Amino acid sequence: MNPTICYLICCTQRCGSNFIASGLINSKIAGNPNEFFVDHVRKVLGVDYDMLEINRLITETMTPNGVFGVRIMWRTFLELIDKLQQDSRYKEMSAAKIMSTIFPNLHYIYLTRKDKVRQAISYSKARQTNEYYQTIDGKTVGHPTRTPTDKLKFRFKEIHRYANNFFKQDENWRQYFRDNDVNTFSVIYENLVEKYEQTIIELLKYMKIEIPDEKIQIQSHLVKQADSISDKWVRKYHRRAKLYNSIKPLLKPLKP
């Protein structure tokens, strides 16, 4: 069976891509969007073959109605395009043309997060613990490296660098969409949290995925990871940033 609908969730780390993907996956009609173009992710998922075997990837991961989805970060997107352009069939094509050629009836979902500081803090915590998300049944994705007695370390420069990097990645995505006249379904993480099921339903309708008459399950199976530590770090970051901004004429610029 050939795919009827394909979509890319264009995103950055810790902006809710797992959150939105879990609802799409649970619907059973919207593919199984994961980071299939990241080597170690494919191995974990049992999709253990080359990232360029895209036809096989689509066939083996799409839902029975022919819908295929994938989540992709900006850096991974560049790596994928670079590898594909080494193929003579795609060498002279633009990135957008390659995508539309490889993925039939392609839709772009642009997922972003307004609060880049909270996003950066979430990423810093995940990097320190190697815990990237938890499910309602207690499973942790990642390989936890921290014991309950280990303390997380607040690192202002690191968080600042992550936040700036997320801004840059978002701008790269938006520039790609502008340059290639790409229409997107845009989702803001903060709005997704408030209107989760409504957003998923709107997304299914946008892609013209036929929704069965019976009620579909689109609840997320993930547990919110932000906690009192996150809130404390947000306040601490803004205090440090305010101090830094007041004395930065005397200092070298803080490199992102």
pLDDT in tens, 202-221: 999 999 999 988 778 787 76
* Phi then psi dihedrals of residue 58, to 5 deg: -60, -50
Q: For each of the domains in the chain, give its residue range(s) and CATH number, in order of start.
A: 5-250 (3.40.50.300)
Q: What is the pLDDT of residue 136?
A: 53
Q: How far is residue 7's CA from residue 103's CA, in Å, rounded to a whole number?
A: 8
Residue 144, pLDDT > 80, answer: no
Lowest mean pLDDT among 3-7, 87-91, 219-223: 219-223
Residue 20, pLDDT > 80, answer: yes
- C-alpha dist (Å) from residue 52 to 21, 38, 100, 109, 194: 22, 11, 15, 22, 37
Q: What is the pLDDT of residue 242?
A: 85
